Amino acid sequence: MEPNQLNLFPSVTPTPARRAEVLVMSQEALLKWKAQILDYQQRVRETKPVQQATLFDLTPKHCDPDQIDPLLLRLVPMSFYRMPANSPGDACLYFIIDSAAGLILYVGETCRSNKRWQGIHACKDYIASYQDLHYRYGLQTAVNAAFWWDAPVDRRARQELELNLILKWRSPFNKENWERWGQPFG
């Protein structure tokens, strides 16, 4: 090697960096985490929304978040996005639900129901980690999707409805609720 040439590769072999220890939620912590979310969501389901009195007859809102109960929607398997489709799909709201526990895990919106979950979606990783932890402890889980098809076609209106439902149900896989529930699966 010439004396004036810089060496990009040191002759001394560096020691490999140590991997960070992966922390795994205990079975007790998982059950407590789920119980807190279930308790909150059950109270939301049982509490009737406050009805505001009006002086005028107003037409009811097309998409009232208080009229949407994801746990009453028809469930489809999480493999729904792998099924062949002849169109990109329709505008909708979708919910990821652990029907074994009665938990609403995620709320999302899309204008392309047949395409949204193809490819990368961070929620897929959360679901996989959530299910893996349940399998580790021998706990039952049944993660499914449910769709609400009466969503606004207008993107802003659909996203506003989605946000209202995320805040209403405090779905733990939505980033808006990570501060409240933590982010144990992401």
First to last CA, the chain: 47
pLDDT digits (tens, 9 = 90+) for 29-49: 999 999 999 999 999 999 876
The answer to whether 25 and 33 have CB atoms below 8 angstroms apart is: yes
Q: What is the pLDDT of residues 100-149, one digit of tens each?
A: 999 999 999 988 665 556 566 778 889 999 999 999 999 999 999 999 98
Which residue, among 151, 137, 37, 131, has the nearest Cα to 90 in the 3D structure?
A: 151
CA dist., res. 126 & res. 144, Å (int): 13
CB-based contacts of 169: which residues, under 8 Å, 6+ apart? 41, 44, 70, 104, 107
Whether the pTM exceeds 0.85: the reply is no
Helix (H, G, I), strand (E, B) or coil at 147: strand
Residues 182 and 35: their CA atoms lie apart, in Å, by 14
